[in-house]
Amino acid sequence: MMISVNLRPGQKRKPSGNFGKQLAGRLKDLTAKVKDPLLAGVVGVWILVLAWLGWTWRSTSTQMAHAAEQLTQTANEAKRFETLMKQKQLATRIRDSLQTQIGVIRGVDRDRYIWPHVLDEVSKAVPQYTWLTDITGQSTTASADSQSASTVRFQITGRTVDYQAFTQFLRQLEASPWVQNVQTVSSQTVIEAARPVTSFVITADFKQADSAYIRTVPLAQSVR
């Protein structure tokens, strides 16, 4: 038997070799000491089970850490997506509100300028030797198309000394992009100032002309 003496008191003796190698050596010695093959098999199985449990625990821990990291990233993405959706919904509500307000304003502006258009087109269509005595609105009917102006029917009463001028008046009204459904209600000869003249009554509908016929001017212009 050999006796080892520590010649340097106060210093611990460093373990020699690798712990894994030592453990393997001890397991080898333990196996060598076990003479029963069945017991040796049981010890071997337990060693394998412990090794498998250790590997499984390490692998599961790694997977759990990776899954936790992915869960955090997914939660952050979900919050960011939810914020974007809320912003989009708010922008959509604002857009719809603005479109509704713009539609109402356009509708008011269209109706406001109906009669100026009617009077302008009728005055342009009146030929020579023809004069008008009355222009009245008969009815206003909302159009089925919300983007178009309301349908306004108006009646024109006038007189002419030339019947050809009356037919010319009808043709020029029908050619107007702002007038449609021109119809003669009555046409008869009457005596005025000891002369025979043709008295007529016409009805027509106002229609919103194509944008090509619309001319806009500034509301206020600078005066030099």
Token pair 């007189």 is found at 159
Q: Is 169 exposed, middle or buried (CB count within 10 Å of its CB: 0-12, 13-18, 19+)?
A: buried
In this structure, are 53 and 73 located in the same domain?
yes
With 70 as the cut, is the pLDDT of residue 23 above it?
A: no
Number of domains in the chain: 2
In this structure, are 130 and 107 located in the same domain?
no
8, part of any domain: no
Expressed as residue numbers, the domain containing 88 is: 21-112
Inter-residue contact 201 to 113 (CB < 8 Å)? no
In this structure, are 104 and 132 located in the same domain?
no
Inter-residue contact 190 to 172 (CB < 8 Å)? no
With 50 as the cut, is the pLDDT of residue 69 above it?
A: yes
13, part of any domain: no
Check residue 159 and give its pLDDT.
95
Task: Provide mean pLDDT across the span 197-211.
Answer: 88
In this structure, are 119 and 93 located in the same domain?
no
Tens-place pLDDT, residues 171-198: 999 999 989 999 999 999 999 888 999 9
With 50 as the cut, is the pLDDT of residue 149 above it?
A: no
With 60 as the cut, is the pLDDT of residue 16 above it?
A: no
220, part of any domain: no
Check residue 147 and give its pLDDT.
44
SS3 label, residue 182: strand
In this structure, are 120 and 164 located in the same domain?
yes
